[in-house]
Amino acid sequence: MKTRKYIKKTIRNNAGQLNDMLQFNDSTNFLKRKAFSKLLSERLFIKEEGAVWILDIDDFKNINDIYGHRFGDLVIKTIAGRINEKFESDKFVARLSGDEFVVALINKSHENNTKKEIEKIVEKINLPMNIEGKTVYISVSVGVSLFPANSVDAEELIMFSEMAMYEAKKLGKNQIAYFNSKMNDYMKLHIEIDEILKISEKENIFTMVYQPIVNAVTKKIVSFEALIRMKDRKYSPMEFISIAETNGAIQTLGRWITEEVIKQIAVWNRQVGEILPVAINFSCMQMLDKGYLTFFEETLRKYKVSPTQVIIEITESVFMDVRFNGVNFINEFKKLGVIVALDDFGTGYSSLIYLTNINFDKVKLDRLFIQKLIDDKSIKVLSGIIHMLHSIDVCVVAEGVEDEIQSRTLLSCGCDELQGYYFGKPLEPEHILSFAEPSSI
């Protein structure tokens, strides 16, 4: 039952002598997805127990980019050979895509034994490879679902394993994650938000609110941060923005946010003269929108808004991802005269490097970073960081200020500007002018 011969025979008996070319992947000699699902259904029907696990090679694109696709194919074949080695359980394998495999382990009724065997196989797969004189190190992310515990439906088990595999990726890659019901809840959430993001009339779903940022000394408002919300508040920005970044909808949503904010600035300008600058959060995934800078310039011209009235807030993840040329992209904003802020300073380890490469106007200290330093009584450290930022002519903004004690502490440490609920919650556009001062005042 463990041999390829048995698998072929089973498929032929149940699918009317189908051609092997339709059932087996040419380069790896593994099943294709449809044949895998059919065979798994048969094993589920006779109430066998085991696991379905999906294996995805971490950063496989880098191997193709560095060594070429022919070399990448050799890596795939090497991994296929390791998966195909004899193990304790009966198993069969399919290749789902370029660097993704799905494996069914059968007759492992004890869950702990199943986990141990998967770990053993993954350990062998991760061993260094010697290919054409080059030593290659790879890691894999694995998602596992168990049957009958999680499901007795073949396609559902594959889907659950894929959910778990994405969870393994989120955990930092080179991980094994097991499906649980929370992942299914997240997938339902993902699907619903995905449908919402496809709606073209964004103004029917979303709205922009604006949170004031004040001068640390005078407590007068110096700018605003534009924040997106769903009108019915059904999902938080953290939920729908992360999904928009995953499925590519962030590019369309990002353009809508940009135009909505610039259009609002134009309205305020007509009402009170030149309104204070407004910050727009910019996702690193928007850098894949090659036409964004042109769109941005055209939108400013369309609404007759000065670039100096716009602040672009961007996190250092822009510089950490090899897909983006973050330095050049930000410098293009600077050439336009836009104010550029580095957001969430303190959440990573490389911010200082980029501060020397890019002439940022502002640096926003992350709320949790500030809180940790204050709680640990590391005020001197906080003061030292702010002093260092001042030495390169950067305005320092503290986020998440919630009370008078924090406000005084941050002022004593040298912060230039403060933002948080203590100074004002995000407001609807019509409420801004009641206490906002034009920038000329």
Q: pLDDT category, 27, cuts 50, 70, 90? A: low
Distance CA 164, CA 68 (A): 30
Arithmetic mean of pLDDT, 27-38 = 81
Average pLDDT, the chain: 85
Least trusted range by pLDDT, from 8-12, 135-139, 143-147, 206-210:
8-12
Residue 436, pLDDT > 90, answer: no
Q: Which residue has the higher pLDDT, 342 or 327?
A: 342
Separation of alpha carbons 365 and 346, rounded Å:
6
Examine the pLDDT at 163 and tell me if it is beyond 80.
yes
When pLDDT is cut at 50, 70 and 90, the band that residue 268 belongs to is: very high
Residue 54 confidence (pLDDT) above 70: yes
User: What is the reported pLDDT for 4?
Assistant: 44
pLDDT for the residue numbered 28 = 60
Portions of the chain given CATH number 3.30.70.270? 4-179
Residues of each domain in the chain carrying CATH 3.20.20.450: 196-432
CB pairs under 8 A, 24+ apart, for 230-235?
230/196, 230/205, 230/206, 231/204, 231/205, 231/206, 231/207, 235/189, 235/193, 235/196
Architecture of domain 196-432: Alpha-Beta Barrel (3.20)
Angle at alpha carbon of residue 386, lines to 382 and 389, rounded to 5°: 145
pLDDT at 264: 96
What is this structure's pTM?
0.67
pLDDT of residue 8: 44
Q: Indicate if the pLDDT at residue 192 is higher than 80.
A: yes
3-state class of 90 per DSSP? strand
7 pLDDT exceeds 60? Answer: no
Count of all residues that appear for the chain in the document: 441
Give, in words, the CATH class of 4-179: alpha beta
- The tokens describing 112, both together, are 């702990």
